[in-house]
Structure 1
Amino acid sequence: MTENTIDPNSRPAEPVVILVEPQLGENIGMVARAMANFGLGQLRLVSPRDGWPNDKARAAASRADHVIEATRLFGSVQEAIADLSFVFATTARQRDGFKEVRGPVEAARMLRGRATAGQRTGILFGREKFGLSNEEVSLADEIVTFPVNPQFSSLNIAQAVLLMSYEWMKSGLDKETDTAFSGPSVVPADKHHLQSLVDHLEHALESRGYFRPAEKKPKMLDNLRAVLTRPGFSEAEIKVLRGVLSSLDYFSPREPRGAGYPERKARAASAAGTGRGNAGRSDD
C-alpha cells in the first residue's frame, strides 16, 4: 500500500478503479476480486472508513492478492485522479449539470480507445449508501450509468465494478461475443451416413409395427428424414444413434407385431379374464 504517491513512469493502459469512502472491508475485497476476474489491477481508495490495510478485504478478495497489494490510498478525490487525463463517474440517478451520459458498453469502448492512445483513465465509484456527491461527479469528465430497473436501481459497489470490468474486458476482444473456451467443432457427416441411419431406423420401426396405416409410410418417412437432417449430425453422433438402434435389434419381439398397442392389450386382457371366469365355473 502506498499513500498518495504515484510513479509517473508506471502507466498501465487499464483504467484505474477509484472507490470513494468505501465503508466495509468485505466490499473492497469483492471489488478487488471482480477487477481481477476481468483483467483490472489498479485500485485506489479515498478515505476508507475502516482504514487500510484491511484483513477483511484481503479475505474477501479470494486470492486477488495482487490487486490488494497494489492498492493506493488517498485523502481526496482530487488527489486520486490528479494524474489521470479522463475520468468517468458512476451514478444510478440523474444529475444536474452538462456532462455527457454513457452506458457501460459505450463507456468501456471509450476507455479502451483512450488507453490505446496512451491516456490514463479512471472510473469513480461512490459510497455504498449514497454514491458520489454532486461535487465529486463534477470532477469527472463524463457520467456512466447502468440500464437497471428504475424501481430498484441501487447496485452493490462490487456489482457496479464487476459490470464495468466486464465491459472493459469485452471491449478488448477480437469479437465482443468471444468466450474463454468453445464447444467442439462439429463437421456434418456425409449424406450416405445419414441415409444409412434412416434405412436402419426404417427397418427397426417396420419390425415393430410403427408405420400404421401402411399407406402413410412414405409421408412418415419424409417426416423422419426432415427431423434427422435438421441438426447436422456429425459422423460420430450418427454412430451413437445407430448403436442405440442396434441394441434394440438384439431383442426380438416375442409377441406378434403390434401386440403391445394399448387397444390390443386391452382386448387381450379382457379375453384372458373371460377365460379365467369360465375355468372357475367348470371347476364347480
Structure 2
Amino acid sequence: MKIPKLKINVDNSRHSRYPIDMSTNTHKKPIQPTGNFRAIPVAVPENLTNIRVILFEPREPGNIGSVARVVKGMGLSQLYLVNPVPFQDVDAAWYMAHGAQDILENCQVVSELKDALEGIQYLVGTTHRRRDVRLPQPVPAREAAQTIATLSQDKSVALLFGREDFGLSTDQLSLCQLSASVPMATKNPSLNLAQAVQIFAYEVFVASLEEYPPSEIDYAEVNALEEFYGRVTRLLDKVGMSPYNREWETYLKSLRRVFSRAPLEPRDIATLDMIFSTTYRYIERLEKKLESTQ
C-alpha cells in the first residue's frame, strides 16, 4: 500500500527571525487566560519598571535574545546594550527571545556605558571573580536583590553585567555602589551570561513581592557623581598633586570608595562643588594675575 506523503505548508512571507508554527489545526492547544496559565499566579510589582538591565559588550546574539526573554519573564522592561555584537539580523537572537521579541525590538543600544547609565541613581555590578581589595566585597545576589527592591520603589536602579569572556573590569565595578555575586559550589564553570541575569532577575522579582518603605535618601545620579569626581581630580591636578605614576584611574577608585561610604545626594554634591569649584576659579585668577605681571 502506498503511504501518502505529509505535506506541510510553510508561509515564507513571514520574517525568518520569528519561529514558524508547524502545528496543525487539529492539534491546537486550547487558549487559556493568562492569569490561569502559571502554576503560581502573582501580580507584577510596580517597582520593576524602575529597574534597568545593562549588558556591557555582549558577544553572543543568542545570549542577548535569552536575556530579553528573562527580562520579560521576570516582569522587567528596560534592557540596555552597550556596544553589543550585531544581533538585529541574527536568527539566534530572535529564536532565543521567543515570546519576548518586543523587549528585543525596543532595547536601547548605546556606544558607551555612561549613555546606558543616564538617569540611574543606584548601580549594582555583578562579578564571578575575586577583585581588587580597594573595591567593596561583593554581597550574595539575594542580599543585593533586597537592596534593589527597596531602592527601586521610587528610584532608578540598574543591574550591570559584563561580557561573556571577561566580565566587568575593575574600573567598571568601581562605578557601582554595590557589587554582587552568585554563591556557587565550585570555582568553575562560571554561569552563562543569560543564566546569571536569570538568577539576579528572579531574586529581584521575589524580593519585590514584599512591601518596602521608600528610601529617605535622594541618591544623586551615577553620571552626576562621575562628573563630580572629575572636577575633584581636575582641582587636585591644578594644585600639583600627582598620584603614584600619575595613575588617575587608580586614584579614582580610592576616591569613589571614600565618598561611597555615605550616599551622596544632589545637594551634597552642590555643597562640595562650591568648595572645589571656588578653589579652582581662585587658582585660575591667581594664574592670570601672575601672567599679567610677567
Of residues 113, 122, 139 in structure 1, which corresponds to 2:175?
A: 139
Structure 1 match to 2:151? 114
Quick one: which amino acid aligns to residue 79 of structure 1?
Answer: D
CA distance in 2, matches of 1:29, 1:51: 9
Does 2:83 correspond to 1:47?
Answer: yes
Instruction: Identify unmatched segments of 5+ residues in structure 1.
Output: 1-10, 176-284
Deviation at 1:37, TM superposition (A): 1.6
Of residues 139, 142, 146 in structure 2, which corresponds to 1:105?
A: 142
Deviation at 1:82, TM superposition (A): 2.6
Quick one: which amino acid aligns to residue 73 of structure 2?
Answer: N
Instruction: Identify unmatched segments of 5+ residues in structure 2.
Output: 1-46, 212-294
Q: How does 1:90-101 map to 2 (within 5 A)?
A: 90-96=126-132, 97-101=134-138
After the TM superposition, which of the residue ranges 145-154 and 135-144 deviates more from structure 2? Answer: 145-154
CA RMSD of aligned residues (A): 2.0
Quick one: which amino acid aligns to residue 44 of structure 1?
Answer: Y
CA distance in 1, matches of 2:146, 2:128: 20
Q: How does 1:1-284 map to 2 (within 5 A)?
A: 13-52=49-88, 54-96=90-132, 97-116=134-153, 118-174=154-210
Secondary structure of 2:50's aligned partner:
coil
Q: Is the 8 A contact 1:108 1:164 kept in 2?
A: yes
CA distance in 2, matches of 1:159, 1:113: 24
CA distance in 2, matches of 1:160, 1:149: 15
Deviation at 1:84, TM superposition (A): 0.2
Quick one: which amino acid aligns to residue 186 of structure 2?
Answer: P
Q: Is the 8 A contact 1:78 1:139 kept in 2?
A: no
CA distance in 1, matches of 2:77, 2:111: 20
**CA gap 1:162/1:12 in 2 versus in 1, 3 angstroms:** closer
Secondary structure of 1:35's aligned partner:
helix
Secondary structure of 1:69's aligned partner:
helix
Deviation at 1:172, TM superposition (A): 2.0
Q: Is the 8 A contact 1:38 1:166 kept in 2?
A: yes
**CA gap 1:79/1:50 in 2 versus in 1, 3 angstroms:** same
Query: What TM-score, normalized to structure 2?
Result: 0.52
Structure with the greater alpha carbon radius of gyration: 1
Secondary structure of 1:16's aligned partner:
strand
Deviation at 1:85, TM superposition (A): 0.4
Deviation at 1:86, TM superposition (A): 0.4
Runs of 4+ with deviation above 6 angstroms: none
Query: What TM-score, normalized to structure 1?
Result: 0.54
Secondary structure of 2:200's aligned partner:
helix
Q: Is the 8 A contact 1:45 1:74 kept in 2?
A: yes
Quick one: which amino acid aligns to residue 99 of structure 2?
Answer: R
Deviation at 1:53, TM superposition (A): 6.0
Aligned residues: 164
Quick one: which amino acid aligns to residue 151 of structure 2?
Answer: R
